[in-house]
Chain A
Amino acid sequence: GNSVTQMEGPVTLSEEAFLTINCTYTATGYPSLFWYVQYPGEGLQLLLKATKADDKGSNKGFEATYRKETISFHLEKGSVQVSDSAVYFCALSGDWGKLQFGAGTQVVVTP
């Protein structure tokens, strides 16, 4: 079946540091890939997505490229802010749009 594996947290960074969160997946077919963000006490917000191989999703300075050869969708941001502190979830979309999530990576950005 489908699965998503992402790096464990917490990831603690200083403001303006470079952020990478690794995400790999296994899936049948050609799923869409997503990154969602969850701020404390809130639901999930879509951060970015990619629907096919070599697509790059980007939003708010975050980027991720759908790599079919390495079955990866790593999230990157060049310069993080304190407001980026949150839990980040990698997900893939399988049958009928069902989302399969990774376990989440907590990111803590300190001033």
Chain B
Amino acid sequence: ETGVTQSPTHLIKTRGQQVTLRCSSQSGHNTVSWYQQALGQGPQFIFQYYREEENGRGNFPPRFSGLQFPNYSSELNVNALELDDSALYLCASSLGQGGHTEAFFGQGTRLTVV
């Protein structure tokens, strides 16, 4: 049991809509990272939040945005959904942001865009 929880577990949206995914980090963890995992591929880094500030971003367009709250939980928002946004979205929490820090993953949110 990693303690990282994501909601919802599954979601179906229509192209052009907006979606918000939520992540509750493990107790005591102040860093949250989001990853997109397309079917049959490895997870791709979207961005990371450390103490409520975005701290690093992968190769994703600005319509992917996020927030981290004072309790270190986080949201991932995606605007103007495209069919290619269909994927498993994974949240990972860690204590600190160093390269040796272990990240704990949630079970993911499966987003389908139709």
Q: Do A and B come from one complex?
A: yes
Beta-carbon contact of A101 and B42 below 8 Å: yes
Within 8 A of B (CB), among A78-93: 89, 91, 93
- Per-position contact with B for A1-35: 1 when CB-CB < 8 Å, else 0? 00010000000000000000000000001011000
Residues of B within 8 A of A42 (CB): 107-108
Q: Does A99 contact B (CB under 8 A)?
A: yes
Query: From DSSP, what is the main secondary structure of chain B's interface residues?
Result: loop
Cα(A61)–Cα(B6), bound, Å: 30
Beta-carbon contact of B56 and A96 below 8 Å: yes
Distance in Å from the Cβ of B50 to the closest Cβ of chain A? 7
Residues of B within 8 A of A104 (CB): 40-42
Cα(A94)–Cα(B98), bound, Å: 9
Nearest A residue to B107, CB-CB: A43
Using known A-B contacts A43-B107, A46-B104, determine if residue A93 contacts B41 with beta carbons closer than 8 Å: no
Using known A-B contacts A32-B100, A43-B90, determine if residue A98 contacts B48 with beta carbons closer than 8 Å: yes
